[in-house]
Structure 1
Amino acid sequence: MNNFNLCGRVAEVGQRRNDKAPWPVLIETELGRDKTALVPVEIFGPEAPPVGWIAVISGTLDSREWQGRRYLQLVAKSREFLPPPAQAQAQPQHYRQPPRYSEADQPPRRSNPPEDDNMPF
């Protein structure tokens, strides 16, 4: 079995069939610089995870057989749902340039480097 870690945002939460069934959840995760993927995951629990929250799921990668065919199965061992960061919801702050210093604030410049005839190189 292989271990996996999945981190992404909860994109969609479906309806469960009954009180003991898991919640069908789609988690949007990044594959590369410009690519994202929706990963279907079933989450057990009394409440559905809120859409937009960050999902951190780890577990094992396994397979199962059904009607003579093998299917990939992700078995979640731990799960955690975190609220989105406050900075993502707030307005982006504008970059402020650092203040410019006057020539009087600068340390004095050396006009000539010190001459030393006994340099080792």
Structure 2
Amino acid sequence: MSDLPVLVRRVSDVEVGPEYVELAVDGFAGVHLDGAPGWLTGEDPLALGVELSMPNLPDLHPPAASPHPHRVRIDVLGPQLLRIRSAPPADGDRDRPEATYCSFPDAGDRGSGADRDHRR
């Protein structure tokens, strides 16, 4: 994989279980253009809505348009607690016990923050 950031561009498959959802996603390496908003991937710029006929358009050097498949699994651990794990499909690290935890308190309970802090 390249050293460039990988931007998730589409969901290719969804598996839903009683207490989880697992997504297969396709990411593409992307570059940020200095002085311009947004990112460029190697995908067809016209299909992405990138204007190519401007007279002062800088030279564009998008990365190769090869997809980087990835899996994202979201487990419901409790009424206000999700575990989000992400890894390439062949990478067993997605199941490692030190996965990242994210707590989402409801509007009436902002929580102390201590529970969230120790799970980062």
Normalized against structure 1, the TM-score is what? 0.29
Computing the radius of gyration from Cα coordinates, the structure with the larger value is: 1
Normalized against structure 2, the TM-score is what? 0.29
